[in-house]
């Protein structure tokens, strides 16, 4: 007799092992959302397999027809393999599929998918340019965006004026109080400038809405240009022009999945490790194991979840 356990959402019994893949894992890999969200969809009756209502703990095999949220996928099709796309967003585009003002959308520039959809990893506001990551893996998108994994974001910022020493100390040590909480930059590097404008390179581990702009505004230094140059171990390729995309090859996708704690087959490597444990692990010598990924360029960087970077300096085409 197969060993069974109680599912945490439904309280019903579910098999621990069996043929095929767990349904929620297949849906997450296909880009529907995180595994936890897919379990909630299944419990709510929003998923069917081969025309029958899906149940928690259900496994599917190659060829099964899965329907969820008015979309249908065939298990085992090549389109369900995780894909990662880099996009150099120009100013003047929104990161949304629906806009009442009918402005240009980043999704207009992406290659079409036969099944699944491109999931944007975080957002950049209308007037911000730089690196946007898209993936077909809901699990990977969740890992990169969830606050508890503390994934690094690095920006090139041009401000009107220049920072005083006490402002630099404040933003790095004490933090700047905004309406939605305290903000601290992990790193800040003076990049120089001419005239009234001054460039800085900043890094932080959160993605609150317009957090970089609002922080400099609070310091009395309005941002005149903002560009994201790195997200985690993925850097903006220097040769990727505005409005262009570049897809990572299978080897680099595997590298990103491993760094994010996801096995190539979609299994979990370290999902349950707390952030503090992963920081300790990185500081114990793992930081150099995962080089930064760009389309054709490799540099050192830390593991998702708090690993420190190893001197990443992606000098992109930012006009001084």
pLDDT at 243: 94
pLDDT at 266: 52
Task: Look at 265 and 90; give whichever has higher pLDDT.
Answer: 90
Encode pLDDT of 298-318 as tens digits.
Answer: 333 344 544 333 333 333 444
**Closest C-alpha among 297, 161, 160 to residue 230:** 297
Task: Work out the average pLDDT over 25-37.
Answer: 80
List of domains in the chain: 4-80 (3.10.290.10), 84-148+233-301 (3.30.2350.10), 153-231 (3.30.2350.10)
pTM of the model: 0.68
User: What does the alpha-carbon distance between residue 60 and residue 319 come to, in Å, rounded to a whole number?
Assistant: 52
Mutual orientation of helices 138-145 and 35-43 as an angle, nearest 10°? 120
Q: Enumerate long-range contacts of 309-314, CB under 8 Å, 24 or more apart.
A: 309/152, 309/203, 312/154, 312/230, 312/235, 314/154, 314/229, 314/230, 314/235, 314/236, 314/238
pLDDT at 320: 37
Contacts of 112 (CB under 8 A, 6+ apart): none
Encode pLDDT of 185-208 as tens digits.
Answer: 999 999 998 878 999 999 999 888
Contact indicator for 14, 7 with CB cutoff of 8 Å: yes
**Closest C-alpha among 234, 225, 246 to residue 317:** 225
162: left (phi over 0), alpha (psi -120 to 50) or beta: beta
Task: Look at 313 and 112; give whichever has higher pLDDT.
Answer: 112
3-state secondary structure of 309: coil
Q: Alpha helices of 89-248 — where are they, by DSSP H?
A: 138-145, 165-169, 211-218
In the structure, what pLDDT confidence band is assigned to residue 175 with cuts at 50, 70 and 90? very high
Encode pLDDT of 129-155 as tens digits.
Answer: 999 999 988 889 988 988 888 899 999
> Is the model's pLDDT at 20 over the cut of 60?
yes
For residue 84, the Cα-to-chain-centroid distance in whole angstroms is 10
Greatest mean pLDDT range, 78-82, 219-223, 260-264, 290-294 = 219-223
Could you report how far apart the first and last alpha carbons of the chain are, in Å?
69
**Closest C-alpha among 209, 215, 206 to residue 168:** 215
Place of tokens 């899906």: 54
pLDDT at 163: 94
- Tokens standing for residue 185: 């930059």
Which positions are annotated as active-site residues? 125
């Amino acid at each position: 007799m197969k060993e069974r356990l109680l599912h945490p959402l439904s309280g019903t019994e579910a098999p621990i092992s069996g043929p095929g893949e767990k349904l929620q894992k297949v849906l997450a890999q296909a880009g529907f959302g995180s595994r936890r969200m897919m379990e909630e969809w299944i419990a709510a009756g929003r998923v069917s397999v081969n025309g029958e209502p899906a149940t928690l703990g259900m496994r599917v095999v190659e060829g099964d027809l899965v329907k969820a949220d008015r979309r249908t996928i065939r298990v085992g099709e090549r389109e369900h393999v995780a894909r990662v796309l880099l996009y150099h967003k120009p100013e003047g585009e929104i990161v949304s599929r629906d806009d009442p003002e009918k402005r240009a959308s980043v999704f207009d520039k992406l290659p079409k998918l036969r099944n699944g959809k491109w999931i944007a990893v975080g957002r950049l506001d209308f007037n911000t340019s730089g690196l946007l990551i898209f993936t077909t893996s809901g699990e990977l998108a969740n890992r990169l965006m969830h606050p508890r994994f503390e994934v690094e974001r690095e920006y090139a910022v041009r401000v009107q004026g220049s920072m005083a020493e006490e402002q630099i100390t404040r933003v790095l040590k004490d933090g700047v109080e905004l309406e939605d909480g305290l903000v601290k930059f992990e790193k800040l590097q003076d990049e120089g400038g001419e005239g009234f404008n001054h460039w800085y390179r900043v890094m932080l581990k959160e993605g609150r809405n317009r957090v970089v702009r609002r922080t400099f505004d609070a310091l009395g230094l309005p941002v005149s240009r903002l560009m994201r140059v790195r997200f985690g171990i993925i850097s903006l390729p220097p040769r990727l022009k505005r409005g262009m995309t570049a897809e990572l090859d299978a080897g680099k996708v595997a590298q990103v999945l491993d760094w994010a704690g996801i096995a190539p087959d979609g299994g979990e490597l370290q999902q349950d490790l707390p952030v503090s444990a992963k920081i300790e692990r990185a500081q114990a010598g793992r930081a150099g194991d995962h080089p930064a990924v760009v389309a054709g360029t490799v540099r050192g960087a830390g593991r998702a979840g708090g690993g420190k970077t190893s001197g990443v300096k992606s000098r992109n085409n930012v006009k001084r």
